[in-house]
Amino acid sequence: MEMPISLPPFHLAIPVSDLALAEVFYGQGLGCETGRRSEHWIDFNFYGHQLVTHLVPELTNMATSRVDDHAVPIPHFGLVLEIPAYQQLADRLCNQQVVFLQKPMVRFVGQVGEQLSFFIQDPFGNGLEFKAFRDMRQLFAS
């Protein structure tokens, strides 16, 4: 499948228990600009996508699933970045001493879909994965 030149931005709403902490993590930590907000939610520009953190008083624990012999958080969301942007974000998070659920690594080495990947968790238990492919045609390869 050929990758389109431009993709429509997605909208994702996630639960958080503290909006100020969400603003620190997504705004200062990941470098996302804030958009509209209320006392119950904040919009973030998540690399051109609309990520909305909604204040939810009780959060549930995250499950995991095995992928490439690693436990990955379920559910999770994230981005497929170009390699330089991936490396810049990984370096930024390392410099901030962020605890990685899975440190930056190469997954599926020598297989279809080989990719750079790391997982982090926001302060509310939401799993995030950032990845990069040396060959973007591998994104949907089988």
The string of pLDDT tens digits covering residues 12-30 is 999 999 999 999 999 999 9
Residue 60: how many other CB atoms lie within 10 Å = 8
Q: What is the pLDDT of residue 124?
A: 92
Q: What is the pLDDT of residue 69?
A: 83
pTM of the shown model: 0.84
Convert the pLDDT of each residue in 33-48 to its tens digit.
999 999 999 999 999 9
Q: Could you tell me what percent of the chain has a pLDDT over 90?
A: 67
Q: E strand or H helix at 107, and its extent?
A: strand 100-107
**Structural domains in the chain plus CATH codes:** 11-57+75-138 (3.10.180.10)
d(CA 120, CA 1): 29
Convert the pLDDT of each residue in 58-116 to its tens digit.
877 778 888 888 888 888 999 999 999 999 999 999 999 999 999 999 999 998 889 99
Per-residue confidence band for 5, with pLDDT thresholds at 50, 70 and 90: low
- Beta strands 49-55 and 11-16: pairing type? parallel
